[in-house]
Amino acid sequence: MALRDFALLVVICLLWASNNIVSKYVVAYLHAPPLFYAAVRFAIVAIAVFPWLRPVPKPFWRLILVALCMGAGSFAFVFLALKTASPSSVAIVSQLMVPMTTVLSFLILRERLSRRRLTGIALTLLGALAVMWDPHGFKISEGLLFVVASAFLGSLGAVLMKGMEGVKPLQFQAWVGLLSALVLSVLSAVLEPGALQAGLSMSWQFWAAVVFSGLVVSVCGHTAYYGLIQRYDANLISPLTLMTPLATIGLGVIITHDPFDARMAFGAAVALAGVLIIAMRPNQIMLFVYALRNRTSRSPK
């Protein structure tokens, strides 16, 4: 990978990680209604890329399902989770999307499920459960269950999207933004009475966060990421995106003072190792281990 493109990917991952912190601030500290916040975010995306709505992708019914899974459903659950869960824990548990996508691809698309991927799935699940488990109350964190729901919907949307061909990134963004904004606006009106009035009276920080999330993170960040996917093998790009949860953990500890104890560290390490095993090819894993062993053996004693 060219150094310029690697630097671009680093910036993209930092944008995604920063968005987790910003979203936590909006829903937990500014007390913005989560569904309203998500609706405004997608409305900004839809307006920004409105010209790409035409022509209408086909099959349209599949586009609706994909948009609602990867857009409205996935983001709504994440924003609901961030009201009570820390950005660090949300970032780690969100990695369940990778093994979920693998399993759904096997069930729906009949893709091969190797022993290596099963090992990665087991490790990711173990790591996520370690983060979700509350050792004091002997129960699973309720907020992080929303993250599990978000990961499942995102995975289902990704699998369904594989059946759609010829849809350009900005065209897909336009339809996800439009359909998600419409659905979330209705849900917010029903489930969050007074959300519109509360949103309109929000400070400038709320609107700055929405613009950052919609324009910078979604339109600019995701479009640049799709461009990298088109230029490089997905098996190269996917492992590198693990910089996002790592950056989220770091920013969460520094900015929102997320608790990060031994249990969180263990869960993060195991979950990310599982994702790495799923995303990388066997020969890439061997090269990675060989390089790590080489570097260790050369380090000064």
Q: At a CB cut-off of 8 Å and minimum separation 6, what does 256 contact?
A: 21, 24, 25, 86, 87
CB neighbour class for 183 (10 Å; exposed up to 12, middle 13-18, buried from 19)? buried
Record the tokens describing residue 224, joined without a space: 């640049």
Record the tokens describing residue 234, joined without a space: 């997905």
Q: At a CB cut-off of 8 Å and minimum separation 6, what does 101 contact?
A: 155, 158, 159
Helix axes 262-279, 115-132, angle to 10 degrees: 160
Rg over CA atoms, the chain = 19
Model pTM above 0.85: no
Structure confidence by residue, pLDDT tens digits, 126-155: 888 777 776 665 456 777 889 889 989 988
Q: At a CB cut-off of 8 Å and minimum separation 6, what does 138 contact?
A: none
Structure confidence by residue, pLDDT tens digits, 14-58: 999 999 999 999 998 888 999 999 999 999 999 999 998 888 877
